Structure 1
Amino acid sequence: MDKLKVLDGELVKNYLAGNEKSFEILIKRHKQRVYNFIFSKVLDRDITEDIFQDTFIKVINTLKRGKYNEEGKFLPWVMRIAHNLIIDHFRKSNRMPTFKNTDEFDIFSVLGDGELNAEKQLIKEQILSDVRKLVDELPEDQKEVLLMRMYKDMSFKEISESTGVSINTALGRMRYSLINMRKLIDKYNVILVN
C-alpha cells in the first residue's frame, strides 16, 4: 500500500476498521501543518505540544464515537478542532489576543480558518446583492451610466458615444447616480462594510 496515494478518507475508514497504522500515517502526513498552525497562534512550544496532543486525542475520540462525517476533508476538520482548542486555551488564560486590522495585517489572514473565509465571502456576496438592489432603484438614465462606468469599465467618452449624449451629460448622470446611491444607502440603512 503506497502511503502517499491513499486518500485521508480511506485511511480514516481503515483506522475505524481497526487498522491503527492508518492513523499513524494520517498523523505523519499532517503533523507539521497542524503543529505549525498551532504554534503560529500561541507562540510557545510547550503550549503548542499540549494543544497538538489534545487535538489528536479529540480527533481519536470523535472518530471512535462515529461522529466524523467530513468525507474527504480530514485536514480542515482537524484544523478546526485545533483552532477551537487554541481559543479555549486563550479563554482559560484570560488573555484572548486582540488584533487590529491595518494595511499590513488582516485578522482573517491570521486566523486562516476556512469558516471565517466562507463567512467573509457570504458578507461580500450580501453586500454585492444589496448594491445591485440599490442600483435597480436608480432612474434608468443614471443606472445605465453607472453600470457602464462601474461594471463595464467604460470611459465617459465611450459612455457618451454609446448613449448619444454629451460627455458633460454622462458625467452629470454619474454624479447624480452616486448622490442617489448615497441617499438609498441611508434610506435603507444598508451597511457596506466587509
Structure 2
Amino acid sequence: MELTMQQLKQNTFLKEKDKLLGFIRGRVSTLEEAEDILQDVFYQFIAGFETIDSLDRVTSWLYSVARNKIIDRYRRDASRPKRTDFSFSSSSDEDGPLTLQEILPDLDNSPESVLLKEAIWDEITEALSELPKAQREIFIQNEIEERSFRELAEEEGVSINTLLSRKRYAIMSLRKRLQRFYDDVMMDN
C-alpha cells in the first residue's frame, strides 16, 4: 500500500518531532522558543517538501533547517545564556574553552539589553567578516553550525589541531574586539 504525499509528510515529521524538539531545546533559552522554532521548521518542511532530493535526506534536511532557524533567532535577539560581563576570566588562559558563550555577556530582556544584544551581534558579524577566511569558516562551522572538528578535518583534509588553532585565533580576536566594544559602551554610560 503506497502512502500519499500528505501521509508521508505527516509520518516523517511525527517520527522526527520529539528528537528535533530536543535538539532545538538544547540550544535555546525556553521551551516556548523551541516550540516556536519547531513550528517554523514544520512550516518550511511542508512548504519545501518537494525540494528534498530523497527521503533518505529528510532527517538531515530537518536538522539543517532547525539549525538555520536557531541561528536566525540568535542573530535576532541573542537570547542564549551568556556570561555576565566582558571580563574574560580565561582571556589570559589561551588553552581555556573556546566557545561563543564564553565571549558573550548575560543580559536581561530590558529594552536597553535588547539593543545591546543587537549591537553585540552586529559587532560579532563585523569582526567575523574581518577574520582571515580559514579562521572565520572554522568558527562558524564549529560554533554556529555545530559541526565537529573531526568531521571538518576529514572534509578539509587538515588535522584537528590545525582547526583548533584556527578557532583559537578567531576566539582571541573576537575577545579583543568585544572587549574594546564593551569598553566603549561602558565609557558612554
Q: TM-score, normalised by structure 1?
A: 0.46
Greater C-alpha Rg: 1
Return the structure number with greater relative CO, CA threshold 8 A, min gap 6. 2
Q: TM-score, normalised on structure 2? A: 0.47
